[in-house]
């Protein structure tokens, strides 16, 4: 391979595997490499040619021992099939790739036991830090990671875990905007489809909704608060229960978009016109919200801010050592996105 093909320089980006050269070799002129190695420039080029030909993949153990960093991050989500979580993974991987960092991902299917297993496995792989973006929690596993000096950054955990970095989410802000919007349309009978209250994030959304409804002076009957699993089927079953109540609500807010889509399907199946006969609001603002009929109103958690906050919290220190678990909290504000699934309250 000729000098021209390398542009006269040895760069970390020559090939996908060229990161093995290490920081000290980046952007270094071949003559300088040859001088330091006490060989000729032609020898450097021959070595590079062989490396490329053999598709050499380095054993990074020595470098890891030297720098104290594996340049690997772990990421754990509740459900990789839920576009909300898969988009977070995509965002973290994009930032990591720009900085030459790898990402190991696992999902738990909302199981605290699987969360604990995933955390312990990632710590054993000596990752530099772990982003935990789950509805469920595993406090003992967080502590295990902390003791092993593995940084942990949580998403939306509302408990008193100030010893961990945490991207807090203002769940109530978007809910307040949504409820005010519905009340402005004349809705007084607003129901809520929530996830299991054993999960911190869904419990926080439920509490936010209750707080907003109370502040708005709106009645909230027990039968209008339905708990379901966090998938489309759960939302559909919950909507069927709401439609069977004696005093049927005129609007429904769901704790995530998948449940809202299931609720929309159930409403259509019951012959209801959405939004003329039933208004509906989801949560997470997934891309699919714009693709259904009618396009779904939703509450957005700003993904870019969440991803940037998580990634920043997991960056190694300047010395290359693993970052100690940060205590700084970052907050992101949710907002209501209006489309076409809400309308004036029906009169009945």
- Could you tell me if 191 and 284 lie in one domain? yes
- Could you tell me if 199 and 53 lie in one domain? no
DSSP conformational letter for 327: -
What pLDDT is attached to residue 317?
Answer: 52
CA distance 89 to 75: 7
- Note if the pTM is more than 0.85: no
Gyration radius from the chain CA atoms: 26
Q: Is residue 267 part of a domain?
A: yes
- State the helix-helix crossing angle for 112-124 and 139-147, rounded to 10 degrees: 10
Q: Is residue 27 part of a domain?
A: yes
Q: Is residue 171 part of a domain?
A: yes
- Could you tell me if 84 and 39 lie in one domain? no
What pLDDT is attached to residue 145?
Answer: 86
- Could you tell me if 199 and 327 lie in one domain? yes
Please tell me the chain's helix, strand, coil percentages from 3-state DSSP, rounded to the nearest 5: 45, 20, 40
Full pLDDT tens readout for the chain, 348 residues:
333 333 333 333 333 333 333 333 334 577 888 888 888 888 888 888 887 777 665 544 444 544 456 778 999 999 999 999 999 999 999 999 998 899 999 999 999 999 999 999 999 888 989 999 999 888 888 888 888 888 889 998 765 455 678 888 999 999 999 999 999 999 999 999 999 988 888 999 999 999 999 999 999 899 999 999 999 999 999 999 999 999 999 999 999 999 999 999 999 999 999 999 999 999 999 999 999 999 999 999 999 999 999 998 887 654 444 554 455 556 899 999 999 999 999 986
- Could you tell me if 162 and 206 lie in one domain? yes
- Could you tell me if 123 and 195 lie in one domain? yes
What pLDDT is attached to residue 2?
Answer: 38
Q: Is residue 270 part of a domain?
A: yes
CA distance 119 to 167: 18
CA distance 17 to 55: 8
Q: Where are the beta strands (DSSP E) in 3-101?
A: 9-10, 28-29, 72-77
- Could you tell me if 44 and 77 lie in one domain? no
Taking residue 304's Cβ as centre, other Cβ atoms within 10 Å add up to 9
Among residues 36, 58, 80, the one where a domain terminates is 58
Judge contact between 262 and 297, C-beta under 8 A.
no
- Could you tell me if 267 and 209 lie in one domain? yes
Q: Is residue 145 part of a domain?
A: yes
- For strands 9-10 and 28-29, give the pairing: antiparallel
DSSP conformational letter for 128: S
In sign, the C-alpha dihedral spanning 46, 48, 53, 57 is positive
Q: Is residue 63 part of a domain?
A: no
- Could you tell me if 29 and 100 lie in one domain? no
- Could you tell me if 54 and 81 lie in one domain? no
CA distance 264 to 274: 8
What pLDDT is attached to residue 161?
Answer: 54
**Residue 165 forms beta bridges with which residues?**
153
Q: Is residue 203 part of a domain?
A: yes
Q: What CATH number does residue 290 fall under? A: 3.40.50.2300
- Could you tell me if 116 and 39 lie in one domain? no
**In total, how many domains does the chain have?**
2
- Could you tell me if 152 and 192 lie in one domain? yes
Q: Is residue 220 part of a domain?
A: yes
Token look-up 């040895």 returns 10
Q: Which domain holds residue 51?
A: 3-58
């Amino acid at each position: 391979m000729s000098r021209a093909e390398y542009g006269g320089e040895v760069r970390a980006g020559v090939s996908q595997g060229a990161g093995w050269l290490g920081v000290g070799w980046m952007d270094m002129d071949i003559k300088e490499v040859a001088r330091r190695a006490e060989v000729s420039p032609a020898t450097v080029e021959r070595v590079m040619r062989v490396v490329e030909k053999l598709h050499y993949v380095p054993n990074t153990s020595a470098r890891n021992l030297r720098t104290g960093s594996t340049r690997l991050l772990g990421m754990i989500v509740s459900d990789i099939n839920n576009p909300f979580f898969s988009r977070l993974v995509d965002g973290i991987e994009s930032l990591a790739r720009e900085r030459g960092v790898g990402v190991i991902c696992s999902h738990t299917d909302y199981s605290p036991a699987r969360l604990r297993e995933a955390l312990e496995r990632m710590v054993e792989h000596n990752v530099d830090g772990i982003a935990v973006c789950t509805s469920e929690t595993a406090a003992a596993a967080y502590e295990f990671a902390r003791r092993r000096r593995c940084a942990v950054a949580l998403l939306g955990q509302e408990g008193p875990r100030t010893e961990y970095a945490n991207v807090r989410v203002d769940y109530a802000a978007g809910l307040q905007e949504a409820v005010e919007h519905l009340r402005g349309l004349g809705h007084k009978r607003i129901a809520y489809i929530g996830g299991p209250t054993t999960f911190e994030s869904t419990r926080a959304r439920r509490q936010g909704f209750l707080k907003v409804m109370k502040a708005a002076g709106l009645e909230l009957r027990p039968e209008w608060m339905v708990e379901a699993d966090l998938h489309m089927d759960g939302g559909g079953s919950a909507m069927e229960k709401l439609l069977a109540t004696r005093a049927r609500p005129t609007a429904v807010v769901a704790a995530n978009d998948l449940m809202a889509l299931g609720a929309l399907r159930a409403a259509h199946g019951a012959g209801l016109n959405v939004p003329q006969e039933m208004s509906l609001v989801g949560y997470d603002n997934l891309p699919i919200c714009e693709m259904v009929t009618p396009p779904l109103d939703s509450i957005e958690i700003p993904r870019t801010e969440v991803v940037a906050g998580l990634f920043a919290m997991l960056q190694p220190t300047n010395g290359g050592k693993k970052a100690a678990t940060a205590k700084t909290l970052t907050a992101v504000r949710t907002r209501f996105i209006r489309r076409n699934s809400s309308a004036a309250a029906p009169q009945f």
